[in-house]
Amino acid sequence: MEFIEKELEELKNRGLYRKLRTIKSAQGHKVKIDGKEVVLLCSNDYLGLANNRKVKDAARKAILKYGFGAGASRLVSGTMTLHRELEEKIAEFKGTEAALLFNSGYAANTGVIPAVAGRGDLIFSDRLNHASIVDGCKLSHAEVRRYRHLDVKALERYLEHASEDEVMHAQKLIVTDGVFSMDGDIAPLDKIVELAKNHGAMVMVDEAHGTGVLGTKGRGAIEHLGVDANDIAVNMGTLGKALGSYGAYVAGTKSMINYIMNKSRSFIYSTALPPCVAAAALAAINIVQSEPERREKLHKNARFMKEGLDSLGFETMDSQTQIIPVLAGESSVACEMMDALMEKGVFVLAIRPPTVPEGTARLRVTVTSQHTRTDISRALDAFKKSGKEVGII
């Protein structure tokens, strides 16, 4: 196994080696790491629901009534009352006819994309789409055309070229993140939908980082941009970010959901989510719908953080959401900055290739509705000192 040790050493030399950090407390705006309380600025628990009392109570009651495990895949004996209740709730929340649960966002994307597109079909994918979308496209064996990030004109050119040869491609699918997880910007879904209609293409949107956060009702980027949910063939999202639970879903027409249920290998061959997980997600969606002030607080915190970082001279790219990248450039610099921040009581993760393109390593800052102005001010002070230490500002 000498090649493994060599590869690990190479990763360390290039600043790409990764290791696990253990948090010894519940998720929150502050957590304990190595016996030290630090401000947490790299969690996806955007609305502070992972440790919410109502969410925990719902899971606890479900365990007492239904036990923990589901016991089998959904198509065998693993479909339980709470799974169906959650799917109905998600469909109502998203404004679609039906929904289907998956065990993770990765499982959803790598299962759904190959189900709706295959050999002889054509997929148009944003270049900065999440790795799970990239892998789903590869598994589909369809022809994939990756268009420049957020470039509607480039997408239009690809679609026009494809329209000239309708015989070759039976189906056309446009797939994009709603909110891009490493950049914090939002896909121009309104324009993408218009192009799809003009060229007979389906649209699939990954709402992992928009669900619960964007839109008047928290439905995501689709709602935020005023797009009709019926114009999105596959509305995918996760339960483990703003909803504080675990798992994922796809929402759409009854026909589409029944099709995916019968064709998606990651759904068919996976044991169902524990019912208590579904109960927690149900409680979380109810909170999203009844407590819009959480979103309002999140957006205020995001603006305060981004404006503070910008004023200090950091490059925060074109973030429009609670995900705020702080560009470092080289991986070694990003890691140095991460360590400097941790020393000052702020936990932010360095994001490096292949997660982001070469030369764009960054600190991925995420704020939540739980952060106080004191937390953010403390973090900004740490960024100011650390940024000067490593030479970013």
* CATH number of the domain that residue 279 is part of: 3.40.640.10
Query: How much is the pLDDT for 2?
Result: 87
| CATH code of the domain covering residue 353 | 3.90.1150.10
pLDDT at 169: 61
- Assess contact for 218 and 61: CB atoms under 8 A: no
In terms of domains, do 36 and 173 share one?
Answer: no
| pLDDT over threshold 90, residue 224 | yes
Q: pLDDT above 90 covers what percent of the chain?
A: 94
State whether 139 and 245 are in the same domain: yes
Q: Is the pLDDT of residue 166 over 70?
A: no
Catalytic annotation, residues: 181, 209, 241
Does a structural domain hold residue 2? Answer: no
Point out the domain boundary residue: 290, 311, 331: 290
Please give the pLDDT value at position 161: 87
182 shares its domain with 34: no
**Is residue 9 domain-resident?**
no
Distance, CA of 177 to CA of 156 (rounded, Å): 18
Residues 353 and 369 in one domain: yes
> How many other β-carbons are positioned within 10 Å of the β-carbon of residue 10?
11
Cβ-contact 234, 40 below 8 angstroms: no
| 278 lies in the same domain as 307 | no
DSSP 20-47: ---B-S-SSSEEEETTEEEEE-S-S-TT
Share of the chain above pLDDT 70, in %: 98
Q: Are residues 147 and 230 in the same domain?
A: yes
The H or E element that residue 157 is part of is helix 152-163
> What's the number of domains the chain is made of?
2
Separation CA 173–CA 256 (nearest Å): 14
In a domain, residue 4? The reply is: no
- Domain assignment of residue 211, given as a range: 54-290
Q: Average of pLDDT values for 61-75?
A: 98
Please, what is the average pLDDT of the chain? Answer: 96
Mean pLDDT over residues 369-382, rounded? 98
Residues with Cβ < 8 Å from 307, sequence gap 6 or more? none
pLDDT for 233 beyond 70: yes
Q: Tell me, yes or no, whether 204 lies in a domain.
A: yes
How would you class 35 by CB atoms within 10 Å of its CB: exposed for 0-12, middle for 13-18, buried for 19 or more?
exposed
Residues 6+ apart with CB under 8 A from 302: 321, 322, 324, 367
Average pLDDT over residues 202-229: 98
The pLDDT of residue 168 is above 90: no
If you average pLDDT over each of 14-23, 168-177, 319-328, which comes out highest?
319-328
159 and 267 assigned to the same domain: yes
How much is the average pLDDT of 224-246?
98
Closest to 116 measured CA to CA, from 13, 259, 329, 295: 259
Question: Does 301 lie in the same domain as 159?
Answer: no
pLDDT band for position 162 (50/70/90)? confident
Residue range 351-367: average pLDDT? Answer: 96
Continuous segment of H or E residues that includes residue 173: strand 172-177
Of 243, 264, 290, which one is at a domain's C-terminal end?
290
Written as one letter, the residue type at 21 is: R
**Structure confidence at residue 170 (pLDDT):** 80
Tally the C-alpha atoms within 13 A of residue 260's C-alpha that lie toward its C-beta.
29
Q: What are phi and psi of 188, to 5 degrees?
A: -80, 70
Structure tokens at 60: 């606890």
Q: Is the pLDDT of residue 99 over 60?
A: yes
